[in-house]
């Protein structure tokens, strides 16, 4: 049976932002998503695409934008929802923050969200799922034709390290420095269908893959294929899922601009008859690990012979290549935030600087709260 792809009218955007609910007194996570969501207006929490949703753990709320044409539209949508969430959370002594992992709260004390789906996931997956007190940002970009989806997806895999290094924000896990830029990558990567996408040649390969996993009882839907980038047939998008949680809307605008510009460029090349590059699976896996370990200071493998390049240099080159595309899409200012993050450090480095200056992991939480409240990188 074929899987229909509901093609988008253009390279539209949708953003999902997983936020931590932080106790303003203790700086620990508070498992009160259900209570906070219950106080929001019904229009914000119900319907086919609610703007505020539960996630696996009660310490998390997910803000979901509508289908937007531009990065500015997506950020404005998220900003309105964030204001409502703040108003609902403040009377309970809770404030939102974001990073790929909370710096010190213990996953063993996490409270699962209510709902049959979450209970079934925890029962089936056990220990790997119980650790998923992690937070990410997912960017959907519309694709205009089904037959472009797999080439675009394969093309994006070469840039997973770029997105991961710019967003890496989980150096701490249960109060300890892991030595990683993104501990979330390894924690979430323990799930059975997580990681880089399976090697696929075309849409038929994807259909066969998905049908086989459903028939075998491995998954029930595409929602349980947790690839770093995946097709979303119902939405007509490719969904970039590799990013750690981002502390500021500015940084969300940056990754959204990168993603939309990259997909748009790929579509233009396909329309011209260009065959998009498809990096080897081993190279994608190795470079992703290097970005998770070293972040922006990684040296990534640039060819099959094993030559390497500084990831910072590769990111700057990508941003320069995409500058004309971002101008066409109206997101040049957001793409320019790449240089600000390269200069000030991604969140993992900013968090470590707090501790290096004599602060505690609780002080790291305070820094994350300030960054989100002021929408300022490195405040």
Give the mean pLDDT of 115-135: 89
Q: 218 pLDDT band (50/70/90 cuts)?
A: confident
- In 3D space, the residue among 16, 62, 14 whose CA is nearest the CA of residue 37 turns out to be 62
Higher pLDDT, 349 or 214: 349
pLDDT value of position 271: 97
When pLDDT is averaged across residues 85-111 and rounded to a whole number, the result is 97
Cβ proximity of 190 and 126 under 8 Å: no
Burial of 120 (0-12, 13-18, 19+ CB in 10 A): exposed
Residue 266 scores a pLDDT above 90: yes
pLDDT above 60: residue 361: yes
Q: What is the mean pLDDT of the chain?
A: 95
pLDDT for 318 equals 98
- Average the pLDDT over each of 49-58, 307-316, 331-340 and give the range with the smallest value: 49-58
Q: Is the pLDDT of residue 114 over 70?
A: yes
Report the pLDDT value the prediction gives residue 66, as an integer from 0 to 100: 96
With a pLDDT cut of 70, the percent of the chain lying above it is 98
Is pLDDT at 120 greater than 90 in this prediction? no
Residue 49 has pLDDT above 90, yes or no: no
Predicted pLDDT at 118: 87
Average pLDDT, stretch 202-227? 91
The size of the chain, in residues, is 379
| pLDDT value, residue 352 | 98
Q: Three-class SS string for the chain?
A: CCCCCCCCCCCCEEEEEEEEEEECCCCCECCCHHHHHHCCCHHHHCCCCCCEEECCECCEEEEECCCECCHHHHHHHHHHHHHHHHHHHHHHCEEEECCCECCCCCHHHCCECCCHHHHHHHHHHCHHHHCCCECEEEEEEECCCHHHHHHHHHHHHCCHHHHHHHHCCECEECCEECCCCEHHHHHHCCCCCCECCCCCCCHHHHHHHHHHHHHHCCCCCHHHCCECEEEECCCCEEEECCCECCCCHHHHHHHHHHHHHHHHHHHHHHHCCCCCCCCCHHHHHHHHHHHHHHHHHCEEECCCCCCEEEHHHHHHHHHHHHHHHHHHHCCHHHHCHHHHHHHHCCHHHHHHHHHHCCCCHHHHHHHHHHHHHHCCCCC
User: CB of 232 within 8 A of CB of 238?
Assistant: yes
Confidence of residue 43 (pLDDT cuts 50, 70, 90): low
Average pLDDT of the segment spanning 266-286: 96
The whole-number pLDDT of residue 108 equals 94
d(CA 245, CA 170): 8
pLDDT at residue number 1: 57
Q: 44 pLDDT band (50/70/90 cuts)?
A: low
For residue 371, name the pLDDT band (cuts at 50, 70, 90): very high
- Under the banding of pLDDT at 50, 70 and 90, the label for residue 46 is low
């Amino acid at each position: 049976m074929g899987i229909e792809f509901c093609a988008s009218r253009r390279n539209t955007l949708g953003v999902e932002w997983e936020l931590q609910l932080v106790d303003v007194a203790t700086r620990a996570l508070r498992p009160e998503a259900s209570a906070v969501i219950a106080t929001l207006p019904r229009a914000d929490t119900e319907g086919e695409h609610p703007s505020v949703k539960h996630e696996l753990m009660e310490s998390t709320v997910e803000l979901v934008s509508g289908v937007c044409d531009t990065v500015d539209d997506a950020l404005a949508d998220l900003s309105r929802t964030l204001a409502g969430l703040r108003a609902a959370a403040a009377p309970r002594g809770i404030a939102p923050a974001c990073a790929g992992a909370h710096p010190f709260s213990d996953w063993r004390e996490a409270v699962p969200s209510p709902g049959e789906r979450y209970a079934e996931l925890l029962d089936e997956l056990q220990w790997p799922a119980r650790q998923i007190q992690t937070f990410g940002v997912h960017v959907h970009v519309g694709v205009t034709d089904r037959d472009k989806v797999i080439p675009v997806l394969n093309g994006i895999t070469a840039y997973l390290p770029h997105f991961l290094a710019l967003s890496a924000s989980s150096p701490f896990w249960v109060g300890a420095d892991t030595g990683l830029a993104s501990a979330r990558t390894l924690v979430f990567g323990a799930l059975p269908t997580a990681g880089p996408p399976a090697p696929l040649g075309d849409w038929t390969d994807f259909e066969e893959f998905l049908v086989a996993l459903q028939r075998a009882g491995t998954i029930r839907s595409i929602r349980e294929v947790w690839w770093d980038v995946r097709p979303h047939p119902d939405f007509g998008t490719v969904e970039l899922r590799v990013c750690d949680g981002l502390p500021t809307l500015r940084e969300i605008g940056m990754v959204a601009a990168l993603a939309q510009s990259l997909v748009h460029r790929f579509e233009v090349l396909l329309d011209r008859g260009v065959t998009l590059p498809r990096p080897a699976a081993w190279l994608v896996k190795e470079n992703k690990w290097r970005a998770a370990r070293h972040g922006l200071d990684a040296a990534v493998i640039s060819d099959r012979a094993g030559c390497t390049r500084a990831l910072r240099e590769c990111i700057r080159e990508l941003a320069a290549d995409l500058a004309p595309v971002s101008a066409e899409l109206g997101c040049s200012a957001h793409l320019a935030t790449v240089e600000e993050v390269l200069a000030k450090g991604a969140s993992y480095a900013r968090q470590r600087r707090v501790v290096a200056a004599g602060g505690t992991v609780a002080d790291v939480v305070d820094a994350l709260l300030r960054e989100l409240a002021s929408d300022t990188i490195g405040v």
